[in-house]
Homo-oligomer: A and B are copies of this chain.
Amino acid sequence: MKKVLIIGANGKIGKILTNKMKEAEDFSPVAMIRKEEQKSYFKDLGVETKLVSLEGELDDIESAVKGLDAVVFTAGSGGSTGQDKTLTVDLDGAVKTMEAAKANEVKRFVIVSALGADDRSFWDKSGIKPYYVAKHFADRTLKTIGLDYTIIRPGMLKDDAGTGKITLEDPMSAESVQREDVAEVILTSLRQDNTIGKVIEFNNGDKNIEEAVASI
Q: List the interface of chain A (C-beta within 8 A of B).
A: 58, 82-84, 86-88, 91-92, 95-96, 120, 129-130, 133-134, 136-137, 140-141, 144
Query: A140-B141, A141-B140, A144-B144 known; A133 and B88 CB under 8 Å?
Result: yes
Task: List, in ascending order, chain B residues with CB within 8 A of A96's CB.
Answer: 120
Q: Is the CB of A87 within 8 A of B140?
A: no
Give which listed residue, B82, B84, B86, B95, contacts A129 with CB less than 8 A: B84
Task: List, in ascending order, chain B residues with CB within 8 A of A137's CB.
Answer: 91-92, 95, 137, 141
Copies of this subunit: 2
Q: Is the CB of A129 within 8 A of B88?
A: yes
A29 to chain B minimum Cβ distance, whole angstroms, is 28
A210 to chain B minimum Cβ distance, whole angstroms, is 34
Could you tell me the distance between the alpha carbons of A140 and B141 in the complex, rounded to whole angstroms? 8
Task: List, in ascending order, chain B residues with CB within 8 A of A144's CB.
Answer: 144
Chain B, Cβ-Cβ closest to A134: B87
Task: List, in ascending order, chain B residues with CB within 8 A of A87's CB.
Answer: 83, 86-87, 129-130, 133-134
